[in-house]
Structure 1
Amino acid sequence: MIRKTMLAALALCAGTSALAQTAPADVRYIQAGHLLDRPGQAPRGASTVIVRDGKVAEIRDGFVAPEGGAELVDLRSAWVLPGLIDMHVHLWGIGGDPMRARVEAADRDDADNMVTAIANMRATLDAGFTTVRDLGGDPRGMRALRQAVAGGTIPGPTIVNAGKMLTVSGGHGDAANGKRAEFAEVIREHQLNICDGPVECARAVRLQVAMGAEVIKFGATGGVLSNVSGGLGRAMTPEEMRAIIDTAHGLGRRVAAHSHAAEGSKAALAAGVDTIDHGTFLDDETIALFKAKGAWLVPTMMAPRAALAQARGGMLPPATISKAEAAGAAAVESHRKAIRAGVKIAFGTDTGVSRHGDNAQEFALMVDAGMTPAAAIRAATLDAADALGMKAELGSLEPGKWADVIAVAADPLADVRRLEKVDFVMRRGIVHKLGGVRQGFPAN
């Protein structure tokens, strides 16, 4: 069990507000029994991580006693490593429980969905994920949540948000799909993420950026959870994809493609996309393009399993069942093939299809698909930070980087499932979980 010894100044009672935690102590000393400071490299033994003003200031060998009134975090019996990064989540609204979402749909508005998103954020942080890329939520709401976390108003992971996924009319992401005619007309009048043709698609990128998007996502293919969208094949033309990617890159935004079918992935890769998310059907040509372009695959291995279980359990519309079965059958072998070929892998779960807080279950699936535990952990730390363009700030515990730190009770390199139970979480120098207990407000 991770020791809970800390100086009294760090003890945060259940009534302490998150706002009171916004300014980290000047200096904290984290004594780590084992330190995986640079995932992919051999772990260090007894070490002390010195945190100053929310960043890693220094790492020393051995257990160094705090100096000058600094606070002590005693993790001498623990394995300590960088905070985890999930490249594909959906924080907005009800996630992982589609039946509840359907039942409550008529009674929920954006205020309800934001409150639920706050709870989802805290569950994600408690699970050890200190940074997430949110790939589909209310654009203005997610911008507000991102800024609230960054400012210390509410606890949660650092958010890199995409706003709404760009899609063609009738494609995966068109909220009017399957709705009664009068409802569909109203929905389509207010959707800003629908684009047909290169000019409209370039404009749609600019609108999402104007609403606060830090990354752009588009639907290269159909999707499993679409009610009537036609299968999982390519949905956008290569010209539409190129317009999205070129416009986003010109505005300093990286681009993620939701893609199942190989034809959609190949077109997106040829156009210069940064990540392919899902990559359910991969052939040799697609894998060669990944390597030639240096793009990342975000496999989201949990998602087809969760969607298939929900579809077969009657929790999703009938149109999703055949797509979920096809995706579930193909994804495992496609991902194994990509891993064997040396495609760059960044960790992502599509949480929101599955339950928030269960994100770390993805690690075991990655290992089952052929990754070593060390490679899977690196995919959720250094490699994910690289895919985000934030490697100088995140992904390892090195001087100058943010003090995003987690700890588990035993060696995750021996059994990666140990990351499913995180006992300690620090984000940017603030302790959010200690000895398995949530710190601050709310306490449970």
Structure 2
Amino acid sequence: MLRYWGAALLAAGTATPAAADTVVVVTARHLLDVESGRTLEDPVVVVTDGRIASVVTRGGARPDIPANARRIDLGEATILPGLIDMHVHLTSNPKYGGYTGLQFTDSFWIAQGAGNAGRTLRAGFTTVRNVGSDGYADVGLKQAIEEGWIEGPRIVPAAYALGATGGHCDETFLPPSFARTSPAMGDSPDELRKRVREQRKYGAEVIKVCATGGVFSRNTAPGVQQLREEELRAIAEEAHFWKLKTAAHAHGADGIKAAIRAGIDTIEHVSFIDAEGIALAKARGAWLGFDVYNTEYTLAEGAKNGVLPENIAKERAVGTLQRENFRAAARAGARMIYSTDAGIYPHGDNGRQFAVMVRFGLAPIDAIRSATSNAAQALGRTGDVGAIQVGRYGDIVAVEGDPTRDVTLLERPVAVIKGGERVR
């Protein structure tokens, strides 16, 4: 099917067969232009060496295509850019909560993380930001994917998350006799600047910091700030000096505002944000990443998976208020990114958050933008991902129907293409 273009397109182009080996032509019935919100008809997307060389829709000039280019015909589907999840933990697995994970050797987590990467890609998420892993596992997964050993999305790794000794990102489940602590903890601006440099040295492309307590740690309260503003500012300044973006785990209102004032680029969870925090985020241009889906999974399955009662209680306390604050932020026009915290719920279900975002006040096209054009801006990678445009990667997801009318279509893509290669 090349319907509108017909036989003329089949014969177009004068490139040699060798050049044609790297050319892929993707056709469908509709293309959702996420930036304008318009649906265009009969798209022809030409991908050369993994990047988009041309995009033409009905009425446009015929593209120059080698006669023997590979073709991916998606029939009546609607195509849109490959999706971006800005908050995942590929080596985490919700099946093993609380202390149940201690039954496995250390290398188990990266091995099962390879499977999680494949599930994420097949779910339509061609790019993810992995905000925290032990042993630089996300860097290893990224390298294995790029070398073609395993299947998975493009990964923007954070390596170890930075935080305060005894805080949410530290080791909080073991007694003193184990003397175990995360290597990325710091208790002064200078110590935390060094931690930034260490993470970058070993492959981090974004710096994650824990500004407040969290749900799934012990001896921390989600609403309590754990790093001073001057410490957060030191992290942001050092990361930006090295041309890295930053992300802050921040549930509590004070920690959220301190992170925004310090210059952190994206604020994750954002559970207890208040009106002042929303206004500050808008004024400073910070992106907000509410993980508004995973509460349902934790409350339904957490106890069975070994999550401790105290952690389930914290999730119950956080979830409802977080969603109401999401509604307030959406109403105020705050800048949103798609952050799901995959690994707290099963990988591959990333698309289920779209419907929750719409239920709590975001327009469908804005929910889609949060996982495409907005995410690309927040990553600082608008030349690579987030839109079906010339020069960007040939990352495409296809659904049967109009996702601006029914965002649940994004839970079940009919095709996923990464760099011009169809994912099977």
TM-score in terms of structure 2 length? 0.91
Match of 2:11 in 1: none
Give the superposition deviation at 1:131.
0.1
Q: 1:89–1:350: 8 Å Cα contact kept in structure 2?
A: yes
- 1:220 maps to a residue whose letter is A
1:155 paired to 2:154: no
Match of 1:115 in 2: 111
The equivalences for 1:92-241 within 5 A come to 92-93=91-92, 95-99=93-97, 102-110=99-107, 112-175=108-171, 177-183=172-178, 185=179, 187-188=180-181, 191-241=182-232
Change (3 A) 1:47 1:280: same
Change (3 A) 1:69 1:24: closer
Q: 2:161–2:169: 8 Å Cα contact kept in structure 1?
A: yes
1:342 paired to 2:333: yes
Match of 1:9 in 2: none
**Matched residue of 1:50: which SS?**
strand
Distance 1:24 1:120 in 2: 33
The equivalences for 1:263-278 within 5 A come to 263-278=254-269
Give the superposition deviation at 1:314.
7.1
Q: 1:192–1:207: 8 Å Cα contact kept in structure 2?
A: no
Give the superposition deviation at 1:53.
1.2
- 1:381 maps to a residue whose letter is T
Q: 1:166–1:194: 8 Å Cα contact kept in structure 2?
A: yes
Give the superposition deviation at 1:89.
0.2
The equivalences for 1:9-408 within 5 A come to 25-62=21-58, 67-93=66-92, 95-99=93-97, 102-110=99-107, 112-175=108-171, 177-183=172-178, 185=179, 187-188=180-181, 191-311=182-302, 315-408=306-399
**Matched residue of 2:86: which SS?**
strand
TM-score in terms of structure 1 length? 0.87
Distance 1:231 1:344 in 2: 23
**Could you say what the CA RMSD is over the residues aligned between the two structures, in angstroms?**
2.0
- 2:104 maps to a residue whose letter is D
Give the superposition deviation at 1:409.
1.4
Give the superposition deviation at 1:230.
3.7
**Matched residue of 2:246: which SS?**
strand
Deviation digits for residues 108-150 of structure 1, max 9, x if unmatched?
212x212111100000000000000001113532212112222
- 2:237 maps to a residue whose letter is D
Deviation digits for residues 2-39 of structure 1, max 9, x if unmatched?
xxxxxxxxxxxxxxxxxxxxx99421111110111444
Deviation digits for residues 268-293 of structure 1, max 9, x if unmatched?
00001100001001111101110111
365-374 vs 267-276, greater mean Cα deviation: 365-374
Deviation digits for residues 295-329 of structure 1, max 9, x if unmatched?
10011112333333345557312321332122012
- 2:235 maps to a residue whose letter is I
59-68 vs 264-273, greater mean Cα deviation: 59-68
Q: Can you give the 5+ residue segments of structure 1 that lack an aligned partner in the other structure?
A: 1-22, 433-437, 439-444
Aligned length: 403
Give the superposition deviation at 1:398.
0.9
Distance 1:391 1:60 in 2: 20
407-416 vs 307-316, greater mean Cα deviation: 307-316
Change (3 A) 1:40 1:316: farther
Give the superposition deviation at 1:62.
4.3
Match of 2:3 in 1: none
Match of 1:5 in 2: none
- 2:117 maps to a residue whose letter is M
**Matched residue of 2:40: which SS?**
coil
Distance 2:421 2:20 in 1: 6
Match of 2:420 in 1: 429
Deviation digits for residues 250-280 of structure 1, max 9, x if unmatched?
1111110000010000000000110000100
- 2:102 maps to a residue whose letter is A
- 2:85 maps to a residue whose letter is D
Change (3 A) 1:431 1:234: same
- 1:226 maps to a residue whose letter is S
Match of 1:20 in 2: none
1:419 paired to 2:415: no
**Matched residue of 1:44: which SS?**
strand
Distance 2:369 2:133 in 1: 27
127-136 vs 27-36, greater mean Cα deviation: 27-36
Distance 1:279 1:386 in 2: 19
Give the superposition deviation at 1:165.
1.1
